[in-house]
Structure 1
């Protein structure tokens, strides 16, 4: 790395199913981390269980404030690399972190998942009520007064999909 990093939230790629362990170990080293978790119902032959899984599998957000922090975060066995797009390390803005936290902490929102498919169609809207108020989104599916909306997390080039009632949306 030839120039100093800008302080902010960077995206670590970690070994499969090691997100929680990597987060714990980074926190023990004094890092500020964020691992968005969503609840999923898993069916087994003898039971059903609700488990928490990462919204972005194998991704962990870590706040980096110096070049030294950057290399310290890479020192864990569970960490593979920082995510890059071209020559740029993926950085998540404070607003995107706030938006993700709002989405995963809002009650009565079911079926939250990610989608990294770029969509060029659909109505551009914003959310007008509730804790997600003010977020811009795009309607990707309409049925029975329920709308699946797409909230773009641009720095990750992925979308978070949420189902909301039509009354909670307004056209931009």
Structure 2
């Protein structure tokens, strides 16, 4: 059965490694954000990885070593001496979140450091720690994914 593994690359090599892995017919996903960068003479929109140095690779366990044919690949993420596996539902949730689906939350009686379980939409059932609270928005660090998301009222 194919599983999603977390692959680390050398700094700023995500796009190159991603394209090379695609050429090897591997299923890969690197969540990207469009950001505006300011240079002295211009502004430019560029795609940057949501999680620096990380690419998700979907393959059989016996095929995992194929990625090391690509320059820029460093290693897999390990958890408890085994390659870390990401559930397909988490990859799908990440994709849906990046596609702009709105997540709503009610902000009341929450403080920084509180645990919070999301009860609707894309990240339903995911637990995180509140890192910031304002009138109509909270920021939560999702424990399983290690990313920060904003929920609005």
Cα separation, 1, equivalents of 2:88 and 2:137: 29
Kindly indicate whether the alpha-carbon contact (under 8 Å) linking 2:3 and 2:85 is maintained by their aligned counterparts in 1.
yes
- Say whether 1:136 aligns with 2:126: yes
1:94, distance to aligned residue in structure 2 (A)? 0.8
- Say whether 1:56 aligns with 2:51: yes
Q: What SS does the corresponding residue of 2:92 show, helix, strand or coil?
A: helix
Normalised by the size of structure 1, how large is the TM-score? 0.72
Cα separation, 1, equivalents of 2:88 and 2:139: 25
- What stretches of structure 2 of length at least 5 have no aligned partner? 104-111
Kindly indicate whether the alpha-carbon contact (under 8 Å) linking 1:127 and 1:137 is maintained by their aligned counterparts in 2.
no
Match of 2:138 among 147, 150, 158: 147
1:135, distance to aligned residue in structure 2 (A)? 4.6
- What stretches of structure 1 of length at least 5 have no aligned partner? 1-5, 110-119, 167-172
- Say whether 1:159 aligns with 2:146: yes
Q: What do the CA deviations read for 1:63-86 (whole angstroms, capped 9, x no partner)?
A: 12141x212111112211112234
Normalised by the size of structure 2, how large is the TM-score? 0.80
19-28 or 6-15, which deviates more:
6-15
List 4+ stretches of structure 1 deviating above 3 A.
Answer: none
Match of 1:11 among 2, 6, 11: 6
Kindly indicate whether the alpha-carbon contact (under 8 Å) linking 2:3 and 2:61 is maintained by their aligned counterparts in 1.
no
Kindly indicate whether the alpha-carbon contact (under 8 Å) linking 2:32 and 2:50 is maintained by their aligned counterparts in 1.
yes
1:44 counterpart residue number: 39
1:48, distance to aligned residue in structure 2 (A)? 2.2
1:87, distance to aligned residue in structure 2 (A)? 1.1
> What aligned pairs does 1:1-172 form with structure 2 within 5 A after superposition?
7-67=2-62, 69-106=63-100, 121-128=113-120, 132=122, 134-138=124-128, 139-152=130-143, 154=144, 158-166=145-153
Q: What number of residue pairs does the alignment pair up?
A: 144
